[in-house]
A and B are shown apart, each in its own frame.
Chain A
C-alpha cells in the first residue's frame, strides 16, 4: 500500500459508488479510476473499490478539533408521568428537579415523602431528615419521637440503608441500637473480606457470602453501598458466574438478596445479566437494576424493554422503568391487567405500583376480590403506591374482612401511604358517608362492566342524569355516589368527574375539589380548561387550598399547589384570580428565600 493519500475526488467517487451501488454503466469510469482493466470483471472491481476506500479512510483519520464534534449526544428526555403535583416534581436533585428536598425543613413534609414518594424521593427525604437531625437543636422532642418511629417503620423497606444511616444519628436507645448494629456490620465486613481474599487465593473452597447464614447475609447486603471495593467486586463476580464455583441457584439467590442494594458499582454486572436475557437471572437482576439511581441503569432497562417480547419480562421491565419515572410501559401494563391472565396479574400489579395513577384505582380495587393471597397483597401494595384517596374506603372495608395478620399489616401500610400522599397533594379523604357509597360504586361498576358495552354506556349516562337530579335537590351524597358510578362505568368520560369537582367547589370543600379536578384534567384537559365556570372554580380551589396549607405552616405544599395551578391554562378564569395566585406564589418564594 502506498503512503500517498489518494486525491479527494477519487475518494469521493469511490464513496459515492459504494453508497449508491455499482451499476454496469459506472464500471468503466470506476475501473479506470482504480486501475482495474475492464476485462477483470465485477468481482475484481468490488475488491479494488472497498480496499482503496478503506485504505484512504484509514490514512485520512485525524484528531478532532476542540468543540468540533458533530457526534450525537444522548437523548436525556424521559417519558414521564404527566401528573403535576408537588410530589411528582419532588426529586433528589435529579434531572426533573424543581423542588429541592435539601431546602425543605418541614419534618412533616419529609416524613410524608418518606412514606409516599417514589423510591428516589424516599431515599432523599430520609437522608434529609438525617441532615436535620445532625443540624440539631431545632427539633422538639415529639418531632424527634415521630422521626424515630417513621425510621423504625422504614427499616425493613427499600430505604432501609438510608434509615439505618439516619438512625445511627439519633440520640437515646434507638440511636445506641443502630450504632451497635453498625459496629456488628463492620465486624462482619472485616470477616467477609478476609474470607474473600482467602477464596481468591485458593485457600477457601466455598464461596464465603453464600456460606453466611441468611440473616447475616441480609445484614451485610442491606448496606452494600458502604461495602469495600473488594467485596463489591467479589459480589459482581458471583452474580456474573465468574467466581468459578457458584451454581445458578446460588447466583439467583444472591441477586435476590441484592434487591435493595442500590449500589452503582454493581451496575456493570447486573447490566450484563440483563443483556444475556436468561429468565431466572433476568428477573432478580431487573429488579435490582431498577433500584439503582443511575442514568446507565435506566438506559439498560429501556433498551431491554424495547427489545423484549416475553410478557412477564416486559411487565417487570415496565415496572423497573417506572421507578426511574419512565412511564412508557404504562399502556402495556394496563392491557395486561385488563386481559386478566392469572399468570401475568402479579407482574402487572407490581408494575402498576410504580406506574399507575388514579385511573387505575378501579381495576386494582377489583383485584382485592381475587382468591390468591399473593395477588391480593400485590393489589393492596399497588393501591398504597398509587395513593388515590378513593382507595381508602375500599381498603378500610377490606381490612375488616382480612384474616391474616400479614395482610392486615400490608393494608395498614397502604392506608398510611395513601394518607401521606394525599397530604402532599393537598387533598383530604372523602367524608365517611361518601366513602361507604364509593365501595358500593366499585362493586356495582365491576358487576355492570361485564355486560354489553352499549348497555354500560347507557347505564353511565343514566347515572350521570340521576346524579344531576340529586344535586339539584341538594342530596349531595347520593348525587356523588351516582356520579362516581357513571365515572367508573365510563372512565374516559369527563362530565361526571367534572360535575363532581364543581359540586365540591360550590360547597367550598377545596381539598376534595382538588382531587376531582385533577382527575378531570387527566381525562380531558381541554374540557376543563375551556369551561369558564370550571376554570374559575378550579383556580379558586387551588388558591383556597394553598392558603389553608400556608396557614398550617405547610409552605412547600402551598407553593406546589400554586405552581401546579399556574401550569394549567387558566385564560378562561377571571384575570384577578390568576393575578392573586401569582401574587401568593411570589410571596411564598420571597418567604422561602
Chain B
C-alpha cells in the first residue's frame, strides 16, 4: 500500500501538479489479487460508512477479499502467500486461466443463480456505459463489470449471456449507440425482473431467455410432438469468446414457425446431423422467449436426404410480404431488446443488384441484404442466383442499421431445371 501511495503521490505531482482537485467522490475501487497463481478482482464499494465487496471468485469471505482489505488497511499480507499485482487493471473477458475458460462450456441452465448479485452487476454495467458513453468504447470499469458478470451469472455461462456480452463489446468497439441502447435496455428489463419477488409471466419468459430454463419452470415450456422440421442454415456467432455459439435454424413445415438450437462449438449437447437436414420430431420442448424460440430435441430422427416435396413445403413457409416481416421485427425488438435476433425465410418477387443485393416483394418493397460478418457471402449469393429473376427463398438473420431493416443472408434456395438447389452461405 505504501508503495502505491508513494507512486500515486509522485504521479499526481508529475501529471496533475498545476490542476486543482475536482469536487468528486470515490465510492468504488477494484483490486487485482494474485493468490496461488490465480488472479481475481475484488471490487470494494463504500455506501456511507459501510464497505461492501465482491470478488470474481464468486465466494463470500474469500482469501482474495481478505488480501484486498488488508492492503487498503495498510496491513500488508505475508509476501509468501499473497501478491497484489495491479490496481485498476483491465482484465480481458474470456482470457482467464484455462480452467476458467472451460467453465464456459455451457449447459445453459439457470440453476443456482444469485439474482440480487446478478442484478447488481448488471446495474454497474449499465451505469458504467451510460457514464463513459458509447464513444468512449471499452473502459476499465466496464471490463471489470463484464468480468464480474461472468462470475455472477450461472455457471457454466448461459449462451444468451455470452452472446449478449459479445454483441455489447462489438457495439461499443463500433461506437454503435443504437445497438448499445438496445442491449442495455434488455439488461435494464432483466434487472427489474430479477429484483421482483414474484416475477410476472413476461418477466419469467425474459429471465428464461437470458438464463435458460428456471429451476421451478413448467409454464414456459411447450411440448412439440409429431412434427417435421427442416434445418435451413447454421451459423457461428461471437459471444464472450469468438465463435462461442453455433446457432441452427429450423423451420416447422406444419406452421412455418422458426426455432433455433444453440450450442457451444464442439459440444455434443444438441441434436446430430448435417445442415440442411430433415428432422422428424416425436418429442421436443420449445422455450417460450426471445424469437426464434429455443428448441430441445428429445426424440427425433434425422435425414440428410431432402426430397422435392419437402423443399416445396419449405418454400410455402416463406414470408412474401415485407410489411409483415417489419411488424414481426419491431415486435421482437421491443419485447426482447437485448436478445432480439430474429430469423426469417423470405420469398422475394425479384432481386435488384444495387450496391448490395435488394430483395423486392410483390408490392415493390425493399429488403436489403447485408452481411457484415461474412461479406463474400453476398458475392456468392449473386453468383449463385445469376441469370434468374429471384431465388425460391432466402434465409437469414434480421437486423437493423441506421433505422433500416436488413437481412444477413445465410442460405438460399434456387430452382434450376425443375429442382431446388440449395446453398449455405
Interface residues of A (CB under 8 A from B): 1, 14-15, 17-22, 42-43, 45-47, 49-51, 53-55, 57-75, 196-197, 200-202, 229-230, 233-234, 236-237, 240-244, 265, 268-269, 272, 275-276, 278, 294-296, 298-299, 307
Contacts and interface: CB of A to CB of B under 8 A. Distances in A.
B175 interface: yes
B303 interface: yes
B367 A237 contact: no
B123 A63 contact: no
Contact of A69 (B136, B330, B365, B368): B368
Given A54-B182, A243-B272, A66 B406 contact: no
Contacts of B368: 64, 69, 71
Contacts of A298: 376
A286 B203 CA distance: 45
Contacts of A299: 374-376
A59 B334 contact: yes
A20 B132 CA distance: 7
Contacts of B277: 233
A63 B365 contact: yes
B291 interface: no
Contact of A67 (B242, B355, B406): B355
A74 B379 contact: yes
B404 interface: yes
Nearest to A274: B243
Interface of B: 123, 126-127, 130-136, 175, 177-178, 180-182, 184-189, 191, 234, 236, 242-243, 246, 265-266, 268, 272-277, 301-306, 322-323, 326, 329-330, 333-334, 337, 352, 354-356, 358, 360, 365-368, 370, 372, 374-380, 400-406, 422-425
Contacts of A74: 375-376, 378-379
Contacts of A272: 234, 236, 246, 265
Contact of A268 (B132, B242, B275, B376): B275
B303 A55 contact: no
Nearest to B266: A276
B134 A19 contact: yes
B304 A62 contact: no
B358 A58 contact: no
B181 A64 contact: no
The 6 residue pairs across chains A and B that have the minimum distance between CB atoms: A21-B133, A74-B375, A54-B185, A237-B274, A58-B333, A295-B376
Given A276-B243, A299-B376, 15 more contacts: A18-B133, A18-B177, A21-B135, A22-B131, A46-B127, A53-B185, A54-B186, A54-B333, A60-B403, A61-B404, A72-B372, A72-B375, A74-B378, A236-B275, A276-B266
A241 B184 CA distance: 36
A73 B405 contact: no
A81 B230 CA distance: 44
A210 to B, nearest CB: 16
A75 B378 CA distance: 12
Given A51-B188, A234-B274, A242-B272, A66 B181 contact: no
A64 B352 CA distance: 13
A47 B191 contact: yes
Nearest to B24: A24
A49 B268 CA distance: 41
Contacts of B400: 57, 61
Interface centre among B133, B322, B360 (most CB of A within 10 A): B133
A20 B134 CA distance: 6
Contact of A294 (B175, B180, B276, B380): B380
A17 B358 CA distance: 34
Contacts of A46: 126-127, 130, 184, 188
A513 to B, nearest CB: 41
A67 B235 CA distance: 27
A275 B365 CA distance: 36
A269 B354 CA distance: 30
B278 to A, nearest CB: 10
Contacts of A230: 304-305
A275 B236 contact: yes
Nearest to A294: B380
A244 B304 CA distance: 14
Given A53-B185, A278-B266, A69 B130 contact: no
Nearest to B365: A63
Contact of A21 (B131, B191, B273, B358): B131
A272 B406 CA distance: 24
A62 B406 CA distance: 9
Contacts of B126: 43, 46-47, 50
Contacts of A66: 352, 354, 358, 360, 366
Given A66-B358, A72-B372, A275-B243, A20 B182 contact: no
Contacts of A15: 177-178, 181
B378 A69 contact: no
11 contacts: A14-B181, A57-B403, A58-B330, A63-B322, A63-B405, A71-B370, A74-B378, A196-B304, A237-B272, A272-B246, A275-B243
A64 B378 contact: no
Given A18-B180, A230-B305, A268 B133 contact: no
Contact of A275 (B185, B265, B425): B265
Nearest to A57: B178
A61 B178 CA distance: 11
Contact of B184 (A1, A22, A50, A237): A50
A243 B271 CA distance: 9
Contacts of B330: 58-59, 61
A98 to B, nearest CB: 20
A149 B406 CA distance: 54
A275 B378 CA distance: 20
Nearest to A278: B266
Given A18-B134, A229-B422, A296-B425, A240 B274 contact: yes
A200 B405 contact: no
Contacts of B406: 64, 69, 71
